Structure 1
């Protein structure tokens, strides 16, 4: 006959339970608490006025956000729920339960200060000899915005909606003229219907104007590329060489029918990702290969990672000199062979 371990979900504790005993000694949540306790949070605590009800300490809110983001929990509502359901989150919150509004407000209010705390964490890692800049790896990942891609409107679709709304406005005006001669109203609030469509037309016009403004930047870059190609070919001719290929064509300017804007998050863009297309941003990270610590980050609206190399190098340049100098890596040959990394010949200028 089989023997089973007895289970009693109503067993009473002889002593008060301790969440601290439920986490392994090397758990990430314990490490976060130890690191955050060493950070200078005075720029955060000084922003609290002391009036009203007692506030959650910034160290608790910071720990919840960092652990949530590190484990793939980005929603403030899910983090709030995890302070009830997850042992690690309950340990970090010390059995308190900050609501999602508190978490979201904390993140928005202290966004600039959190960047400074990021540098403090790296400084602690450097003091513990966990990081010294050597071989740096750059990579990007698409991050979903807090907006649906179905809330995006293309320039072409906006023009169709504008035409449809103008037809509806004319039809309502015609109905209003007919209603003036009728003895009884037909039950439709014509002024309200007209006002609603006029407001929609105004919103669509503003969205179109923003698309045109955004496209102007793209047109300026395309024009610069075109002029550079023309100048390069002209230089070849003056040098007595015949330029290869077809003559460059002037770029087509102005908004295209496919140019989009998202009505919820105007700064986000449609991004290709491994799971298809998403409404979001292109986040870049520079990682120290030996320790796997992130040493620099940026966020871009460009979908192509190739355009982010120079901005990321500029971010690495801002790191303290004491952290060392990254090693430039050059391919051994024009194949898929691994790169050979050598120490920088003359400090940080060679990155």
Structure 2
């Protein structure tokens, strides 16, 4: 029982610490986000910057990026609210160092760097998991088809709202009791002990980035079995291209096979077949002493199949050269551990779809009640309610939307590929 109330004197004056680093404790989330942005690759956010001109100095893209990441971590989507928090919230004020950007600056920055923001947020989730800030045990993934933004059955009576309020209060009390038993006197959201020390935080984050990079490099290398299958496929295709075999190897091209080599061999095979047909026509003409009936022989390099195969080979060769140049440029700029280059690892689906004239991005999706023209909205959440994935896709089922990059997702169990209950997904821990 309290003896009396504490005084509330809002006219009391006091001096703030001189250094902003003393305003918040070392285990505050803002220090982790600031350090993470300093370590991740942010070159994609600097490409649009134009320095050296006249006028007022611009805002540092790294500072604006840190501000948006911290705002997203607290569910703030409004640029105006972020600007307001920079005036009133200590953590936001620390990020911008007291130089508060206007909400229009934040909105334009987010609009101009949508893809780079998505890539960096993905890398930050991987980094958070690597540092043990997410308890990854079972991830729940579910999707639902959305065709409208409102429903009339969402209206509630006063009695129902009162019942919901009582349930919320009871749930809040139960949650507080459970968290008291679980965390004791701590909040429960503190960073791991080795990340609270400022002198150790940068080294630990860099170590995690290096481990993620090494794991990505190892995953990109084909297994011995995959390489053996690719070598056998290339050998069979070489035999077909040189005339040692009449038929090309069946099945799809192995993923471990070099696409440039495959395209070149298919071009050579098509040209050899056209050459044999061309020689046979001239041999027949020499035997008959006249031009044979039927279509005239086409020179090998002018044959439609040969020209199509040559076009594919030239395109594949140019793509490989561009990828090699991009990789060399990224290695030279030290961007090997960043997230801005992760979009280059994704391949665009070239399958032809039907387009809707009103909303070209929407798709015809099958639901329990028939087909709708809309989107498949997906959300993935970990054990501790950490949102790992949220997106609106065009895929007809949930299987196609499972993220497989990095080490966060390793498969799906019990998924029937239809709209319905959440799918439990076992996830490898960062140590796997």
Counting strand residues as a fraction of each chain, which structure ranks higher?
A: 1
Q: TM-score band (shorter)?
A: 0.3 to 0.5
**Structure 1 length-normalised TM:** 0.47
**Structure 2 length-normalised TM:** 0.39
